[in-house]
Structure formats: C-alpha cells, structure tokens
Amino acid sequence: MPQPEHESKRETAWGPADRLGDANAFSAALFEVMQQVCPGIGELELYEFRYALHGLTPDDGWASVSLEDPAAIEAQVTSSAFYRSLQVKPRRDGLIVLDEPIKKLTLMLLVGLVTGAYPVEWVKRHFYFDVRGFFFLHRNLYFTPRILAHLGGKPHRTFERRQESFERLQSIGYKEFAAANADLDEYFLACLRRLIEVKGTPIILALAGQTAAGKTEIVERLRLALQADGRSVTAIEMDNFLTDRDHREAKGIHTLGRDAIHIGLFTRALTEIRAGRAIQTPRYDTVYAVSSHDLQGNLKPGAIPVEVPAGDVVFIEGNFPFLLEEAAPVIGIKVVYLTDDPVRMKRKWRRDIDYRKKYEPDYFRNRFFKEQFLMAEVCYRPQMEVCDLVVDTTGAALWATPEVAATLGGL
C-alpha cells in the first residue's frame, strides 16, 4: 500500500526548508552538525540539547531567521563599533537578557549550519560555541603579523598542548588548568630566574593577562619558587587600582589607563617600591566592584588599604601594567600570560558563577562577549607588541623577543 506523501518525505532526505519548518527535524540536524563545531555538544543527549535550544527558538520559528552574507558577518564581528554598541544589562520584563545582536548572531549561525549556508570550517575559524552559555562568540586574533615579528616569528619553546582536553568540558577548575600548564610554567620559571640573574635586583616584573588567564595563580607559584631561592618577593595586584565598576562602565570598556585605574596612586606606588620602600595600595572589592578610594585618590571612610612590603622581586599582575607610559620605563621584565578566550570563559563559569556567584548569568554572557574583542584590541595586543615574553598556555608555547631569546641561550 503506498505511503502518504508526507510520510514518504520524512523517510527520505530532509531538505533545508523542511528542517526549518519542523522543530524536531531542525534540532536533530543541528545536534549532528554542532558536534563537528563544538566537541562539548557530544557530551549531551539530544533531549538535553533541545532543552538548551528551547530558550533560543524564535517565536515565529527557525524559518523566520534571515541570514547575512558571511563577509558582512566577518566585517561586523571585527568592528569595534559593533562591540561598543552592545548592552550588558538589557532587560525584558524586568530581567537581564542576552542582548539582541548577540542572540541574532547565534541564531544566524545555527540556521546557517543546518542549511549549509555557513560551512562548518568557516564557523569554526571565526567563532567558538560555549555550551554552558549556549551561544556563539567571535574568536579573537592575538598573534598578529606585527606581534609575530616582534617575537622573532616563532615560539622560543613549545610543549604538549594539554588544554585540548578541555574542549569537551563546560567549566574548568584551577587544578586541571594548572596541571595542563605544568611543563610550560616550569620552563617560564626557569626563564625568569635567568633574566633576574642577568638584570639584577631589585627588579619589577609585570605580568599582564586577560581575566581568568591564570595571572594570580602563576604569580603565587613563582613567588614561592623565588623565595625558595632566597629572594624576597612581593606583589602588587593591579586590579586593586581599578576604579569603581559603575564609573568604568559609564566611561566605556575601551577607556583604559586614567579612566580605569587610579593612575596617580599607581605611579607613586611603583616609584616608592622600586626605591626599596614598603607601600600602601587601594583595595578593590571584586564582589561589590568598588574601590577603597574615591576618584580623587582619597581613602573612603572605613576602607582599609593593602599593605605591600618591599622586595627583591616585585610582581605586578593585571590587565595592562605596561600599557601605561608612566609605568613601562620602571618595569624590568614585561610578560603577557595568555590563555585563549574559550578556555577562560569555562574558567569563569566555574570561578565567577559557581564559586563566587559574582554575576547574573545573562549579564556575564553579554559582558564577556562585548569586552573580549575590545580588550584584545586596546589592551592585550598592544602589550604583546612591546613585551619581553609571551606565555601562551593554550598554545603551550613560550615566545621571546630575539634579544631575550639570546639572553636565555640554550636554556
């Protein structure tokens, strides 16, 4: 007996239009293709994938999503103006939601993958998918031709890329992060020992890096190792010089230096500690995002500054310690400690959402999407252009300028 036409069609190949018109067919096809884009999707069952997809499903169905030309999408996600236009706290019915342009991008990529309008390799080249946030983010380029030339064109030394094991995870704890970086971090320590020996002490060592790149943790490990060598070590946390978050957000994330930190307090602190004197720094509350000092550099009533003793080696760790022209001349060793954005986001889910409970999740998604491109553009790449060393934990490579590489020799 012949089958009805619609049943026969379901048992044969589904065309793109049919997939868009049938929610189950669309989600099944998307589930398959997304496992090629993001290994973490393979850790889900189809019904779990559908749970997450439900929150993104357009009211008028997937067929209502209009696709843009890939070149237009590339132009948009590499435009500073696009990121500056994004909102971190858009609201619907009183609740913070994913900003509409960010959601639109994810919807287009999902539909384009199912219909074949956007090839898997093109999507993977320009974007990564965060399973826990269930949205696409742009892949930022950190090693530009100019930076590669500054660093001699190739890594000084490479190691096994153990962070590749993180691709299937939704969040990452510090123990597994540190274990993946162990060989590289040990070599980094050996390089610092050589440079400190050659340059002499006291010396200021600035370690720049993105949020959740591992700056605080690696500074603590280096401190313990250098103290075991008999050196006195102290550290200045640059985050403690941040002004109140409301002030920074009002100015815009692209404004660094004088609008983002207490610049006067920072430069005075460097001068004093380089002269071998103990200092006091502001204290930044990461939970409430406020500084111990007002915008004029005065200690707020009831606030307590941070006491920092003098030392042979003074670590400065933060987002942009040698981006400031006042600070760069007094810094003896400039390091960028780099971790790729997808790994950092997984670290932040565990650290800032699960443990610290620091952000509302949609605010976190909007903020991370908005800030990473802008910070790479105005903060991290400029410092990579002038640094002595880059420790690329995701690439498992240590990069050095030719001059520094010559100092390290056969180490």
For the chain, give every domain's residue range: 5-138, 145-408
CB proximity list for 259: less than 8 A, separation 6 or greater = 243, 247, 248, 251
Q: Is the pLDDT of residue 86 over 90?
A: yes
Q: Place 410 in a pLDDT band, splitting at 50, 70 and 90.
A: confident
Which pLDDT score is estimated for 16? 57
Mean pLDDT score of the chain:
91
- Within 299-360, residue ranges assigned H as helices are 341-348
pTM above 0.75, yes or no: yes
- The single-letter DSSP state of residue 172 is -
- Inter-residue contact 317 to 305 (CB < 8 Å): no
Which pLDDT score is estimated for 4? 38
Which pLDDT score is estimated for 317? 79
- Tens digits of residue pLDDT in 310-361: 999 999 877 788 888 878 888 999 999 999 999 999 999 999 999 999 999 9
Q: Is the pLDDT of residue 53 over 80?
A: yes
- Inter-residue contact 91 to 97 (CB < 8 Å): yes
Which pLDDT score is estimated for 18? 64
Distance, CA of 241 to CA of 203 (rounded, Å): 20
Fold of 145-408: Rossmann fold (3.40.50)
CB proximity list for 343: less than 8 A, separation 6 or greater = 163, 166, 172, 177, 393, 394
Which pLDDT score is estimated for 11? 31
3-state secondary structure of 294: coil
- Tens digits of residue pLDDT in 143-160: 999 999 999 999 999 999
- Tens digits of residue pLDDT in 219-275: 899 999 999 999 999 989 888 999 999 888 887 654 565 678 898 899 899 989 988
- Tens digits of residue pLDDT in 1-30: 343 333 323 333 345 556 788 999 999 999
CB proximity list for 82: less than 8 A, separation 6 or greater = 76, 101
- Tens digits of residue pLDDT in 110-150: 999 999 999 999 999 999 999 999 999 999 999 999 999 99
- Tens digits of residue pLDDT in 65-82: 999 999 999 999 999 999
